[in-house]
Amino acid sequence: MPPFPGSGLAKGLAVTLRTMTRKSHTAQYPDVQPELPPRTRGVIGLFEENCTVCMLCARECPDWCIYIDSHKETVPPAAPGGRERSRNVLDRFAIDFSLCMYCGICIEVCPFDALFWSPEFEYAETDIRDLTHERDKLREWMWTVPEPPALDPGAEEPKELAAARKTADKLAAQRAAEQEAAAQAPGETPGRNGTDGTPGTAEGGTA
C-alpha cells in the first residue's frame, strides 16, 4: 500500500521536533579545551636518552616520514685490559607531520621506549615546512605526555617486575642465610670462663 500523501513531510517534522527538545552538545572550542582521553594520538614526543639509533621506527614507517642521522664513536674500555666498543650517537631525529598518518607503528616497534604519544594537537602551521619537527621540538612534546594509567588491580604483574621481584627475593633470602650462618659459626661457648663467655678469674687465686 503506497504511503499517504505528506507522510514523508510528517516524518521529517517528527525528527525536527525530537531534535529541538534535546539538549545541545556544542563544544565551545577554543575557549573551552576538550577533555581528551589519555591515549589520544595528537603528536609524537621523543625521549632522546632512550634512543639507540636502531632505525626500527624509520624502517617500519609506512610513510617514510622519520629522518634519522647518526655517527659512530669509540668508547674506551671500562676496565684495564678490556676491549674498546663502538656506539651510535644520534645527530638528527625528525618527523614530518605533513606526511605522518598517525598509525603509531613507530611507537609500537620501538624496543627502548623512546617514542610516546602526546594528546597535544594544536600545532598547525602556515608553512608546511614547519611541520617537520626536529629532535629539539620532539623533546619539548615529552613534557606534555601524560602519565600512564594505573594498572587494573586484578591484572597480571608485568614480566619485568616479576623477574626483578624474584631476583630481589632470592638475594634477600641468600643474605639472610649468610647472616644466620655467621651467627652460628663456632666461637667462644657462653659460660666457658665467665658467665657471658669472657675470661674470668681463678677461684681462690690472684687475678
C-alpha dihedral (9, 15, 17, 22), degrees to nearest 10? -170
Rounded to whole angstroms, the Cα distance separating 116 from 110 reads 10
Task: Determine whether 114 is exposed, middle or buried from the number of CB atoms within 10 Å of its CB (0-12, 13-18, 19+).
Answer: buried
Rounded to whole angstroms, the Cα distance separating 89 from 53 reads 7
> 134-189, pLDDT tens digit by residue?
999 999 999 999 887 777 788 777 777 788 888 889 999 999 999 988 888 765 55
User: Residue 207 — very low, low, confident or very high, per pLDDT cuts 50/70/90?
Assistant: very low
User: Residue 2 — very low, low, confident or very high, per pLDDT cuts 50/70/90?
Assistant: low
> 54-97, pLDDT tens digit by residue?
999 999 999 999 999 999 998 888 788 888 888 899 999 999 99
Q: Which tops the pLDDT comparison, 38 or 170?
A: 170
Contact 30, 126 (CB under 8 A): no
> 93-136, pLDDT tens digit by residue?
999 999 999 999 999 999 999 999 999 999 999 999 999 999 99
Q: pTM of the entire structure?
A: 0.62
Total Cβ atoms within 10 A of residue 72: 10
Rounded to whole angstroms, the Cα distance separating 12 from 77 reads 80
Q: Quick one: which of 146, 151, 152, 139 has its CA closest to 36? A: 146
The three cell numbers of residue 206 are 690472684
Phi, psi torsion values for 127, nearest 5 degrees: -115, 125
Query: Which residues pair with residue 29 across a beta bridge?
Result: none
Please state the three-class secondary structure of 134-152 as a single string. Answer: CHHHHHHHHHHCCCCCCCC
Return the pLDDT at 131. 96
Phi, psi torsion values for 161, nearest 5 degrees: -70, -40
